[in-house]
Amino acid sequence: MKTRKNCRVISGLLIPVLLVTSLTSVINVPLRARSYPRGGIARPAEHGSSSSKISPDLLKLARNNGSNGSRIKVIIQANNDPDSEVDNFLSGLGARFEHKYSNLRTRAVELPISAVEALVAHQRVSFVSPDRDQIPSGHISLTTGADAVRIVNGTTTNGLDGTGVGIAVLDSGIDTTHRSFLDRSNGLRVVVSRDFTGENRTDDPYGHGTHVASVAAGNGRISNAQYMGIAPNARIINLRVLNSAGAGSSSAVLGALDWVLTNRAAYNIRVVNLSLGAPAMDSYRNDPICQAVRQLVDAGIVVVAAAGNNGKNGSGQKVYGQIHSPGNEPSALTVGAANTFGTDARGDDGVATYSSRGPTRSYWTDEQGIRHYDSLIKPDLVAPGNKVVFAEAANNHLVEQNPALDAGISPVDGRKMMFLNGSSMAAPAVAGAAALLLQANPSLTPNLVKAILMYTAQPLAGFNHLEQGAGELNIEGAVRLAKLVRTDLSSASALGEALLTTTTPPAPETTIAGYTFGWSRGVVLGHTFAAGEELITQYQRIYGAGVIFGDWLTMASGVIFGDGTMISSGVIFGDHILTADGSIITGGSNFLSVNSLFDDGVIFGDGVIFGDGIVTCDGVIFGDQTLQSDAVSQAQSSSINGDSTTSMSISADDGVDYLEY
């Protein structure tokens, strides 16, 4: 390994060791009782020093600007439900309340910068972070396998289309006049719209949210279903958190997530899509959006998050450690972008060059000032996201500034389609897939949905786990497996109970457009992966609610151990991150010792070059205020330009609605 002084890994910029040699790539290890901290590494103290309760960038701002009389918006997390004591204390500091959330132990306030350190010292305050900016990250139904589950015996009558399932899209709004959002009876499937930006509008002047929503749930009316979304009859909940310029705030996202918790039953919201991101600086244990995502997942909602579009630098070289928040949250289903090269068959698919790679580089700081990085394997999987064609909002900013984004499908508003690229487009493909799985088997927990999607994914040859997770989305295989999962499982189900309604597991392969590929037959678990047929034949208690996959593993002397009360003994854990050979999750060459993910300051530590790419040197450190606009430009450029490859084929619209979708 080469080292270079004064170089650091960038931790997920904002948008829209030594290798240990092993004789084997995986090890079948005995299980033992858990005797380690949750998450396998030390956790920050509940009531640590003041410096451990504040985001580093906010602390720097407070100390550098505390005497200039300026004010700042912050997100405050409390140890328990905030009450009048906390609110009175905040008022005494000169705080103005921006948001009080009904379901979250959180307040969004504006207060003098000079009061920040006094705020952090309060015993009821657990963590304080800035109200950070949030912006979007930048042939699908056939190549993902969605067509295969929608069409049964040559018709769509008995197939899956997302009917009855609600997908909440937190984005820049939705143009509800677009034909893509009608049902077969011409009813609007956008069942509710709410604005959290303060602009008092729910349409989509920016143009990102309409495209995202149609990837997840656009119908097939235009161009004879050439641009159909994954779940074309799902309900859509339009929660606008990005403004007319495509920017938002943490407080707006928290407001929308809080609204989902309150209203999930009324609209059967089972899936939330977050094609947006902020710098992943704070550990997921402290990040307020990550904490809210965890609360939604524990409540039974699948939360899909875009990985980000910072997988390469300005010279085109690979960069690792750029996963955005909330994609760094372990309970989220984090999605990177795949490149289909414009073909339906999947033999030539790969990971888009701009798709953000793991590991997660968010961190917490202990009382001695030492950083502890999360270093989770992310993304969880990838899905098509390069140069995809979906709904174009009328008169939107993206097309006005970049006319070439219009795909030339139709000259008529409400029928126009546009190109976009990025993990922002890949995430809603997975959100739509989750809706199909939940329609097929409503009893699935978010953890089971996540496990099924990873187990059935296609490993892409030549890409490692930090680039693709378990592999590329495979809806045909996932739905086939989901239909076999028992519907009577619960938190009371015993470890090792039969998971399926049959004793014969499904064949672990799928054929799409004449190309047959094998499933990954494994799942990503925090710092490693697990493999084995028992993942789908036996009930694993990690599939229950309120559980995080990786929390039940630890490492000792380079060996992964699992908790025998949570994961059955037949499951195999990997001791290396692998570069896939395209067969199964355990097939491929050693890329990186898993041990290095537990050891801060080794391969991914500050000042060390990573072997398969580069890190960015001092001067472009994450959180550097002078560079965030450059990061935005880079991400939006990826969203507009994509990889230099063939896009989806173009099929002109004849102006007549196609209703056989």
Q: Mapping DSSP to helix (H, G, I), strand (E, B) and coil, where does residue 352 land?
A: coil
> Which pLDDT belongs to residue 286?
94
Residues 528, 603, 48, CA angle at the centre, nearest 5°?
75
Distance CA 616, CA 12 (A): 12
Q: Mapping DSSP to helix (H, G, I), strand (E, B) and coil, where does residue 212 land?
A: helix
Q: Which domains does the chain have, with CATH numbers?
A: 50-122 (3.30.70.80), 136-490 (3.40.50.200)
> Which pLDDT belongs to residue 41?
32
Residues 6+ apart with CB under 8 A from 627: 13, 620
Q: Mapping DSSP to helix (H, G, I), strand (E, B) and coil, where does residue 54 land?
A: strand
- The identity of residue 455, as a single letter, is Y
Distance CA 467, CA 127 (A): 31
> Which pLDDT belongs to residue 366?
87
> Which pLDDT belongs to residue 271?
98
Structural contact between residues 615 and 3, judged by C-beta atoms closer than 8 angstroms: no
> Which pLDDT belongs to residue 136?
57
> Which pLDDT belongs to residue 622?
23
Shortest CA distance to 126 belongs to which of 327, 322, 283?
Answer: 283
Per-residue burial over 584-594, b = 16 or more CB atoms within 10 Å of its CB, e = otherwise:
bbbbbebbbbb
Task: Look up residue 381 and give its DSSP letter.
Answer: E
- The identity of residue 645, as a single letter, is T
> Cα-Cα-Cα-Cα dihedral of 572, 145, 235, 301, to 10°?
0
Integer angstrom CA distances of residue 185 from 220, 229, 237, 381, 485: 14, 18, 19, 35, 33
Identify the burial level of 276 via C-beta atoms within 10 angstroms of its C-beta, where 0-12 means exposed, 13-18 middle and 19 or more buried: buried
Provide block-wise average pLDDT over 10 residues at a time, the chain (661 residues): 30 27 31 31 45 86 82 91 87 91 92 92 92 69 87 66 97 97 95 97 97 96 91 97 92 96 98 91 94 97 95 85 94 96 90 94 88 93 93 96 92 94 95 98 98 98 96 97 96 94 96 94 94 96 91 74 85 91 95 76 38 26 25 50 62 81 74
Task: Give φ, ψ of 87 to 5 degrees.
Answer: -65, -40
Query: First and final CA of the chain: distance in angstroms?
Result: 53
> Which pLDDT belongs to residue 561?
77
Output the pTM of the full model. 0.85
